[in-house]
Amino acid sequence: MTTVAVAPPSRRSLSSRVPTRTGKRYHIRTFGCQMNEHDSERIAGLLDLDGMTSTTDLESADVLFINTCTIREAADNRLYGNLGQLKEWKDRRPDSLLVVGGCAAQKDRDLVRERAPWVDVVMGTNNLDRILDLIDYAEAWGGITEIADELEAMPSSLPVRRELAHSAWVSIQVGCNNTCTFCIVPSVRGKEVSRRPGDVLSEIRGLASQGVIEVTLLGQNVDTYGRDLALDGRRRPLFADLLRQVGSIDGISRVRFTSPHPADFRQDVALAMAETEAVCEQLHLPLQSGSDRVLAAMHRGYNTERYWDKLNMAREFIPNLSVSTDIIVGFPGETESDFQATLDLVEAACFDQAFMFIFSPRPGTRAALMSDQFIPDDVIAERFARLVEIQNSSSLRTNQAMIDRQYEVLTEGPSKKDASIAATRTRGGKLVHIPGAFEPGRLLEATILSAAPHHLVGSVT
């Protein structure tokens, strides 16, 4: 399509929207974090609102939405590789629309257009509710790029199409006020903006009325949720209050959240987790490095002593707590002694799970400009392998400690690898394979029979 210089469409009310694409189909590909997964659910809900239906068959799709990630260089490379492959699809189906959204689109709006001119719509992270207007515009006038640099007055609750009827993501906050030197998120998601508690609770009550029993609260730094709101004349973190209120909603059996920040994780949140029955005993507490020197260079706002204080406090207040973390290997200037400090902390902490990454310099971040960038690839690979070995050992130990014990598990459906096995989750987020077929959304009692580093095997009690 040829881009035509016409004023972009104005925002229209979704409530007055008349379906215009009944009978057409859409396909969504999602890369990145849980926030992106939830954004894709909302995009799907909006396309459903316009009369469209979802398809897993790319060749039959009239609209293809690519929800992008830019947290690491590999994500960018994957995006442009996908867009290159999709040129043939676009050539075969010239009347279909290719829409690119998400963080990479927000960051590299012009580059996406330059490298993939066959893309019809490039849209940012803060204007999801605009997709119907934007594809209307693209069909009528040609390609369009619209990026919301600031969060606009987007409807707090958009229609959602969920993959699991019993489980839902709920966004409570967008953006981030932290200044971690390796992170591009504040540039693409903007400053922190909290949804008002009443809006969040109203959405969750509505979900419960639809049969949802598990919700996961989403934010870049949930521990500072509400700090930007003036309630009762005060500005203060409200996350502990929100956890208690969400956990008291009839029908909601499990409440999870991601992600907290160690610098802001407080005792009131740990107490709310311990005292609110529906809140699961699961905590993701990103470490990033076990070296105080590297943590300072990352601008994380805590040192290892303070991290240990937060971790020990959480484990003291919350029985049977499952803890996961994030770790970066090869941050600029990381020495062998820095890395050994990380290994020592990881081994001592005995995390249930760790998400481990090799440092990827992101243009626009301070870490990308640091002078001591280069660490030999073979050194990084060797360090990464040592870290994985230690963490796998920790994961196996924590899982083996569960053998012969009973746990409540929530069924998610058949295993992706074996349809005769059901995939289920404990309250701590552990994957448990159970023989048999069970409807998704059932709560069962299971006895753990065996353990591997990344899953458990059980049987229904």
pLDDT at 267: 96
Q: Determine the Cα–Cα distance for residues 88 and 94; give it in Å rounded to an integer.
A: 10
Q: What CATH code would you report for 167-400?
A: 3.80.30.20
Burial 281-292 (b: 16+ CB within 10 A, else e): bbbbbbbbbbbb
Please determine, for residue 152, whether its predicted confidence score (pLDDT) is greater than 50. Answer: no
The residues of the chain that CATH labels 2.40.50.140 are 406-460
Please determine, for residue 16, whether its predicted confidence score (pLDDT) is greater than 70. Answer: no
The 10s digit of each residue's pLDDT in 107-132 is: 787 788 788 888 888 887 777 878 88
Please determine, for residue 6, whether its predicted confidence score (pLDDT) is greater than 60. Answer: no
Query: CB neighbours (10 Å) of residue 308?
Result: 15
Please determine, for residue 150, whether its predicted confidence score (pLDDT) is greater than 70. Answer: no
Q: Looking at residues 346-359, what average pLDDT do you find?
A: 96
The answer to whether 262 and 287 are in contact (CB under 8 A) is yes
What single letter denotes the amino acid at residue 221? Answer: N
The residues of the chain that CATH labels 3.40.50.12160 are 25-146
At the fourth CATH level, which superfamily is domain 25-146? Methylthiotransferase, N-terminal domain (3.40.50.12160)
Q: Determine the Cα–Cα distance for residues 201 and 145; give it in Å rounded to an integer.
A: 34
Please determine, for residue 284, whether its predicted confidence score (pLDDT) is greater than 50. Answer: yes
Burial 47-66 (b: 16+ CB within 10 A, else e): bbbbebeebeeeeebbbbbb
Relative orientation angle of helices 267-275 and 304-317, to the nearest 10 degrees: 20
C-alpha distance from residue 224 to each of 241, 263, 291, 302, 415 (Å):
12, 10, 25, 15, 36
Please indicate whether residue 90 or residue 113 has the higher confidence score (pLDDT).
90
Q: Determine the Cα–Cα distance for residues 355 and 361; give it in Å rounded to an integer.
A: 18
Please determine, for residue 7, whether its predicted confidence score (pLDDT) is greater than 70. Answer: no
Please indicate whether residue 273 or residue 184 has the higher confidence score (pLDDT).
273
Q: What CATH code would you report for 406-460?
A: 2.40.50.140
The residues of the chain that CATH labels 3.80.30.20 are 167-400
pLDDT at 364: 82
Please determine, for residue 92, whether its predicted confidence score (pLDDT) is greater than 50. Answer: yes
Query: Residue 2 — pLDDT band, cuts 50, 70, 90?
Result: very low
Tell me the whole-structure pTM to 2 decimals.
0.77
Q: Determine the Cα–Cα distance for residues 175 and 247; give it in Å rounded to an integer.
A: 24
pLDDT-wise least confident of 129-133, 306-310, 402-406, 445-449 = 129-133
Q: Looking at residues 187-214, what average pLDDT do you find?
A: 90
Q: Determine the Cα–Cα distance for residues 350 and 397; give it in Å rounded to an integer.
A: 8
pLDDT at 428: 97
Query: CB neighbours (10 Å) of residue 114?
Result: 9
